[in-house]
Amino acid sequence: MGYTFGLATNPVLKKAAEPVLQRAVEQFAQTGEPARGFDQFLYRAGTWKNPRRVIVKAECNRLGTNLRFIVTDRLGAGVVPQAAYEDYAERGESENRNKELKTELLGDRLSCHRFLANYFRFMLHAAALNLLIRLRRVVADPPSLTAAEDHSGDGVPVVDPTVPVEALRGDERRRYHRYRRQRDPLGQGHIATWRMMLIKVACEVIQSTRRILIRVPAHWPFLPWFCRVCRGIDDLARRVPVLS
């Protein structure tokens, strides 16, 4: 099992991180811009059986200095410690899925005194979350990356458009995600966004012998998004083979 977890600061770790922290301090003194650096070393706490690899992030800005440590056994962490640390920093995105299940889909409403009833209710909440995740993938339309001097298209200008989105850093990363939330609200939208744009709408249901017709208001402001979801589901149904 691979692992990456945070490590509390202590005098031994601070001493090992002094070189990289000093480089960050010198860079900030020269440029006046926030600076940070990464380094790695082997460390063994008194209760550990074996030494483990520690990644340190050192920052320096107008507020002072800051040190953060993580322990990991990720392959390549000793070569590219920055990538290992930034992957750890992305853990908040996975925590957002827990928040969606518990807060937005009310997955913690297990008020029945019977275990099986609560178990079944929780399975329904989990199924709803999986359906939401699948629908997000169906309708997702992330913007592309373009060269920094190209402002004519529908993409996000960056210094190097050949790098993957996951490799974007700083202002470029924030600009990309901000633009995506504006252009693709359903592709990354939480259940509250889907509920507001697609579920909370007055409609007329007409049932006949052969079909069920749902009539929505012609002036519904989110009608284009509803049609986009329908087209995405239809395209997916055409690509998935039917099992006989």
* Domain limit, last residue, from 89, 113, 148: 89
User: Does the residue 233 lie in any domain?
Assistant: yes
Q: In the prediction, which pLDDT does 152 show?
A: 66
Query: Residues 80-135: pLDDT tens digits?
Result: 888 888 888 877 777 888 888 888 888 888 888 999 999 999 999 999 999 888 88
Burial class (CB in 10 A: 0-12, 13-18, 19+), 77: buried
Confidence bin at 71 (pLDDT 50/70/90): very high
Q: In the prediction, which pLDDT does 118 show?
A: 93
User: Does the residue 244 lie in any domain?
Assistant: no
Do residue 139 and residue 71 come from a single domain? no
Q: How many residues does the chain have?
A: 244
Do residue 158 and residue 110 come from a single domain? yes
User: Does the residue 10 lie in any domain?
Assistant: yes
Q: In the prediction, which pLDDT does 187 show?
A: 87
Number of domains in the chain: 3
Q: In the prediction, which pLDDT does 77 show?
A: 85
Confidence bin at 58 (pLDDT 50/70/90): very high
Region 153-179: mean pLDDT is 80
Task: Flag whether pLDDT at 159 surpasses 90.
Answer: no
- Helix/strand/coil for 74: coil
- For the residues of 22-53, what is the DSSP string, one character each? HHHHHHHHHH-S-EEEEEEEEE--TT-SS-EE
Q: Which residue segment(s) compose the domain that 31 sits in?
A: 4-89
Do residue 79 and residue 117 come from a single domain? no
User: Does the residue 207 lie in any domain?
Assistant: yes
* Domain limit, last residue, from 57, 89, 121: 89
Query: Residues 184-196: pLDDT tens digits?
Result: 888 888 888 898 8
- Helix/strand/coil for 155: coil
Do residue 175 and residue 204 come from a single domain? no
User: Does the residue 60 lie in any domain?
Assistant: yes
User: Does the residue 111 lie in any domain?
Assistant: yes
* Domain limit, last residue, from 64, 89, 114: 89
With contact defined as beta carbons under 8 Å apart, do 16 and 44 qualify? no
Do residue 97 and residue 187 come from a single domain? yes
